[in-house]
Structure 1
Amino acid sequence: MAASARRGPYFCGIDAAMDVVAGKWKSLILWELHNSGTRRFAELRRGLPGVSEKMLIQHLREMEEDGLVHREVYREVPPKVEYSLTEHGVSLNDALTSLGEWGTARIRRIGAERVPAHDAATGRQ
Protein backbone atom coordinates (compact mmCIF):
# COMPACT_ATOMS: atom_id res chain seq x y z
CA MET A 1 0.00 0.00 0.00
CA ALA A 2 1.39 3.38 -0.96
CA ALA A 3 1.79 5.96 1.77
CA SER A 4 -0.56 8.90 1.47
CA ALA A 5 0.50 12.47 2.01
CA ARG A 6 -2.24 14.26 3.87
CA ARG A 7 -0.49 17.53 3.25
CA GLY A 8 2.61 18.91 1.67
CA PRO A 9 4.84 20.00 0.18
CA TYR A 10 7.12 19.47 3.12
CA PHE A 11 9.79 21.94 4.15
CA CYS A 12 12.07 19.39 5.83
CA GLY A 13 12.21 15.84 7.14
CA ILE A 14 10.87 16.82 10.56
CA ASP A 15 7.82 18.34 8.86
CA ALA A 16 7.15 15.08 6.96
CA ALA A 17 7.73 12.94 10.07
CA MET A 18 5.43 15.06 12.24
CA ASP A 19 2.69 14.66 9.65
CA VAL A 20 2.50 10.91 10.31
CA VAL A 21 2.82 11.09 14.12
CA ALA A 22 0.62 14.15 14.65
CA GLY A 23 -1.96 13.64 17.35
CA LYS A 24 -1.70 12.51 20.93
CA TRP A 25 -2.17 8.79 20.33
CA LYS A 26 -0.16 7.82 17.23
CA SER A 27 3.24 7.62 18.88
CA LEU A 28 1.66 5.77 21.82
CA ILE A 29 0.03 3.28 19.43
CA LEU A 30 3.47 2.72 17.86
CA TRP A 31 5.00 2.05 21.30
CA GLU A 32 2.16 -0.27 22.32
CA LEU A 33 2.46 -2.37 19.16
CA HIS A 34 6.25 -2.38 19.45
CA ASN A 35 6.22 -3.48 23.10
CA SER A 36 3.28 -5.87 22.96
CA GLY A 37 3.42 -7.19 19.41
CA THR A 38 0.37 -7.98 17.31
CA ARG A 39 -2.82 -6.83 19.01
CA ARG A 40 -6.55 -6.97 18.49
CA PHE A 41 -8.48 -3.69 18.75
CA ALA A 42 -9.75 -4.28 22.31
CA GLU A 43 -6.24 -5.21 23.48
CA LEU A 44 -4.85 -2.01 21.98
CA ARG A 45 -7.56 0.05 23.62
CA ARG A 46 -6.85 -1.52 27.03
CA GLY A 47 -3.15 -0.76 26.57
CA LEU A 48 -3.90 2.91 25.90
CA PRO A 49 -5.96 4.16 28.86
CA GLY A 50 -7.90 7.28 27.94
CA VAL A 51 -8.13 6.76 24.18
CA SER A 52 -11.67 6.81 22.82
CA GLU A 53 -12.84 4.12 20.43
CA LYS A 54 -13.45 6.76 17.74
CA MET A 55 -9.95 8.23 18.07
CA LEU A 56 -8.26 4.82 18.05
CA ILE A 57 -10.17 3.79 14.91
CA GLN A 58 -9.27 7.08 13.20
CA HIS A 59 -5.58 6.88 14.08
CA LEU A 60 -5.30 3.21 13.10
CA ARG A 61 -6.86 3.97 9.71
CA GLU A 62 -4.46 6.87 9.11
CA MET A 63 -1.48 4.80 10.25
CA GLU A 64 -2.51 1.99 7.91
CA GLU A 65 -2.77 4.52 5.04
CA ASP A 66 0.72 5.79 5.89
CA GLY A 67 2.12 2.27 5.82
CA LEU A 68 2.96 2.16 9.54
CA VAL A 69 0.41 -0.42 10.67
CA HIS A 70 -0.75 -3.64 9.05
CA ARG A 71 -4.39 -4.65 9.55
CA GLU A 72 -5.05 -8.37 9.15
CA VAL A 73 -8.66 -9.49 8.83
CA TYR A 74 -9.39 -13.15 9.49
CA ARG A 75 -12.50 -14.54 7.80
CA GLU A 76 -14.06 -16.33 10.73
CA VAL A 77 -17.10 -15.99 12.97
CA PRO A 78 -16.94 -13.80 14.91
CA PRO A 79 -14.63 -11.71 12.70
CA LYS A 80 -11.10 -11.29 13.98
CA VAL A 81 -8.88 -8.29 13.16
CA GLU A 82 -5.29 -7.87 14.30
CA TYR A 83 -2.92 -4.92 14.07
CA SER A 84 0.86 -5.04 13.86
CA LEU A 85 3.70 -2.75 12.87
CA THR A 86 5.03 -2.81 9.34
CA GLU A 87 8.75 -2.50 8.67
CA HIS A 88 8.11 1.20 8.05
CA GLY A 89 6.35 1.47 11.43
CA VAL A 90 9.24 -0.28 13.19
CA SER A 91 11.72 2.15 11.64
CA LEU A 92 9.62 5.15 12.77
CA ASN A 93 9.37 3.67 16.25
CA ASP A 94 13.17 3.28 16.31
CA ALA A 95 13.53 6.93 15.28
CA LEU A 96 11.21 8.01 18.11
CA THR A 97 13.33 6.26 20.76
CA SER A 98 15.64 9.26 21.19
CA LEU A 99 12.68 11.61 21.42
CA GLY A 100 11.15 9.40 24.12
CA GLU A 101 14.41 9.43 26.06
CA TRP A 102 14.56 13.22 25.77
CA GLY A 103 10.95 13.44 27.01
CA THR A 104 11.68 11.18 29.99
CA ALA A 105 14.62 13.40 30.96
CA ARG A 106 12.38 16.47 30.64
CA ILE A 107 9.71 14.93 32.85
CA ARG A 108 12.32 14.32 35.53
CA ARG A 109 13.86 17.78 35.10
CA ILE A 110 10.59 19.65 35.52
CA GLY A 111 9.16 17.26 38.11
CA ALA A 112 6.13 16.34 36.06
CA GLU A 113 6.21 12.61 36.68
CA ARG A 114 3.02 10.65 36.98
CA VAL A 115 2.50 6.92 37.10
CA PRO A 116 2.58 5.86 33.42
CA ALA A 117 1.21 2.62 32.00
CA HIS A 118 4.74 2.06 30.67
CA ASP A 119 7.88 4.10 30.11
CA ALA A 120 7.73 5.21 26.47
CA ALA A 121 11.51 5.68 26.26
CA THR A 122 12.39 2.18 27.39
CA GLY A 123 9.15 0.33 26.79
CA ARG A 124 9.29 -1.03 30.35
CA GLN A 125 6.42 -1.07 32.79
Structure 2
Amino acid sequence: MTATDRIYQKIKRSRRYVFERKDFDNYASYDQIGRVLKKLVDKGVLMKIGYGLYTKSTINSLTNKPMPMNPGGTDAIMREILKLRGVDFEMDAMSLKSINGQSTQIPASIRYKWDSKYFNRSLKVGNRVLNNRQ
Protein backbone atom coordinates (compact mmCIF):
# COMPACT_ATOMS: atom_id res chain seq x y z
CA MET A 1 0.00 0.00 0.00
CA THR A 2 1.42 3.39 -0.97
CA ALA A 3 1.74 6.40 1.30
CA THR A 4 -1.09 8.09 -0.61
CA ASP A 5 -3.43 5.19 0.06
CA ARG A 6 -2.49 4.99 3.73
CA ILE A 7 -2.99 8.72 4.32
CA TYR A 8 -6.26 8.70 2.36
CA GLN A 9 -7.57 5.75 4.41
CA LYS A 10 -6.65 7.46 7.67
CA ILE A 11 -8.53 10.60 6.63
CA LYS A 12 -11.62 8.68 5.49
CA ARG A 13 -11.80 6.50 8.62
CA SER A 14 -11.16 9.28 11.12
CA ARG A 15 -13.95 10.88 13.10
CA ARG A 16 -11.96 14.11 13.25
CA TYR A 17 -12.38 16.81 10.65
CA VAL A 18 -9.16 18.76 11.22
CA PHE A 19 -5.72 17.27 10.61
CA GLU A 20 -2.19 18.49 11.12
CA ARG A 21 0.69 17.54 8.89
CA LYS A 22 2.39 15.84 11.83
CA ASP A 23 -0.55 13.40 12.14
CA PHE A 24 0.93 11.50 9.19
CA ASP A 25 4.60 11.44 10.27
CA ASN A 26 4.75 7.66 10.65
CA TYR A 27 3.54 7.02 7.08
CA ALA A 28 6.28 8.62 4.97
CA SER A 29 8.99 11.27 4.86
CA TYR A 30 8.21 14.96 5.38
CA ASP A 31 8.49 15.80 1.67
CA GLN A 32 6.40 12.85 0.56
CA ILE A 33 3.67 13.73 3.04
CA GLY A 34 3.63 17.24 1.62
CA ARG A 35 3.22 15.93 -1.92
CA VAL A 36 0.42 13.55 -0.88
CA LEU A 37 -1.45 16.29 1.00
CA LYS A 38 -1.13 18.63 -1.98
CA LYS A 39 -2.50 15.90 -4.25
CA LEU A 40 -5.47 15.36 -1.90
CA VAL A 41 -6.12 19.11 -1.80
CA ASP A 42 -6.11 19.20 -5.61
CA LYS A 43 -8.61 16.29 -5.71
CA GLY A 44 -10.93 18.04 -3.25
CA VAL A 45 -10.59 15.47 -0.45
CA LEU A 46 -8.90 18.05 1.82
CA MET A 47 -8.88 21.82 2.16
CA LYS A 48 -5.82 23.68 3.38
CA ILE A 49 -6.89 26.10 6.10
CA GLY A 50 -3.54 27.25 7.43
CA TYR A 51 0.10 26.36 7.71
CA GLY A 52 0.13 22.61 8.32
CA LEU A 53 -3.64 22.45 8.96
CA TYR A 54 -6.15 20.66 6.75
CA THR A 55 -9.84 19.80 6.97
CA LYS A 56 -11.96 17.19 5.23
CA SER A 57 -13.85 18.57 2.28
CA THR A 58 -16.28 17.65 -0.42
CA ILE A 59 -17.00 19.20 -3.80
CA ASN A 60 -20.01 21.54 -3.82
CA SER A 61 -22.39 20.48 -6.59
CA LEU A 62 -23.43 24.07 -7.38
CA THR A 63 -20.09 25.87 -7.44
CA ASN A 64 -17.88 22.87 -8.19
CA LYS A 65 -15.43 24.09 -5.51
CA PRO A 66 -14.38 22.32 -2.31
CA MET A 67 -16.28 23.09 0.88
CA PRO A 68 -15.77 21.89 4.47
CA MET A 69 -17.42 18.58 5.31
CA ASN A 70 -18.02 19.25 9.02
CA PRO A 71 -21.78 19.20 9.79
CA GLY A 72 -21.27 22.01 12.34
CA GLY A 73 -19.93 24.31 9.65
CA THR A 74 -16.96 26.59 9.82
CA ASP A 75 -17.56 27.50 13.47
CA ALA A 76 -17.20 23.84 14.51
CA ILE A 77 -13.96 23.65 12.53
CA MET A 78 -12.65 26.77 14.26
CA ARG A 79 -13.45 25.33 17.71
CA GLU A 80 -11.80 22.03 16.77
CA ILE A 81 -8.62 23.84 15.68
CA LEU A 82 -8.41 25.83 18.91
CA LYS A 83 -8.99 22.68 20.99
CA LEU A 84 -6.44 20.76 18.93
CA ARG A 85 -3.84 23.45 19.64
CA GLY A 86 -4.74 23.49 23.35
CA VAL A 87 -5.78 27.13 23.33
CA ASP A 88 -8.22 28.35 25.98
CA PHE A 89 -10.84 30.47 24.23
CA GLU A 90 -14.08 32.25 25.01
CA MET A 91 -17.13 32.82 22.83
CA ASP A 92 -19.33 35.88 22.95
CA ALA A 93 -22.39 35.83 25.23
CA MET A 94 -24.99 35.64 22.43
CA SER A 95 -23.35 32.60 20.87
CA LEU A 96 -23.12 30.82 24.23
CA LYS A 97 -26.82 31.38 24.89
CA SER A 98 -27.71 30.01 21.45
CA ILE A 99 -25.52 26.91 21.81
CA ASN A 100 -26.80 26.17 25.33
CA GLY A 101 -30.43 26.49 24.23
CA GLN A 102 -31.16 29.57 26.34
CA SER A 103 -32.01 31.69 23.31
CA THR A 104 -33.76 31.06 20.00
CA GLN A 105 -31.79 33.79 18.26
CA ILE A 106 -28.92 32.51 16.15
CA PRO A 107 -25.95 34.84 15.70
CA ALA A 108 -24.64 35.40 12.18
CA SER A 109 -21.13 34.46 13.28
CA ILE A 110 -19.50 33.40 16.51
CA ARG A 111 -16.79 35.63 17.95
CA TYR A 112 -13.83 34.01 19.72
CA LYS A 113 -11.30 35.53 22.11
CA TRP A 114 -8.07 33.95 23.32
CA ASP A 115 -4.60 34.90 24.52
CA SER A 116 -2.48 35.66 21.45
CA LYS A 117 0.67 34.42 23.22
CA TYR A 118 -0.57 30.85 22.73
CA PHE A 119 -2.03 31.09 19.24
CA ASN A 120 -1.13 33.94 16.92
CA ARG A 121 -2.15 32.74 13.48
CA SER A 122 -4.73 33.62 10.91
CA LEU A 123 -6.79 30.73 9.52
CA LYS A 124 -9.19 30.79 6.58
CA VAL A 125 -12.04 28.32 6.06
CA GLY A 126 -14.06 29.27 3.01
CA ASN A 127 -14.94 32.94 3.42
CA ARG A 128 -14.49 32.89 7.19
CA VAL A 129 -11.23 34.11 8.70
CA LEU A 130 -10.24 33.29 12.28
CA ASN A 131 -7.77 35.58 13.98
CA ASN A 132 -7.50 37.29 17.33
CA ARG A 133 -8.05 40.73 15.82
CA GLN A 134 -11.80 40.29 15.19
- TM-score, length-scaled by structure 1: 0.39
Larger-gyration structure (1/2): 2
Q: Which protein has greater RCO, CA pairs closer than 8 Å, 6+ apart?
A: 1
Which of the pair is proportionally richer in strand? Answer: 2
- TM-score, length-scaled by structure 2: 0.37
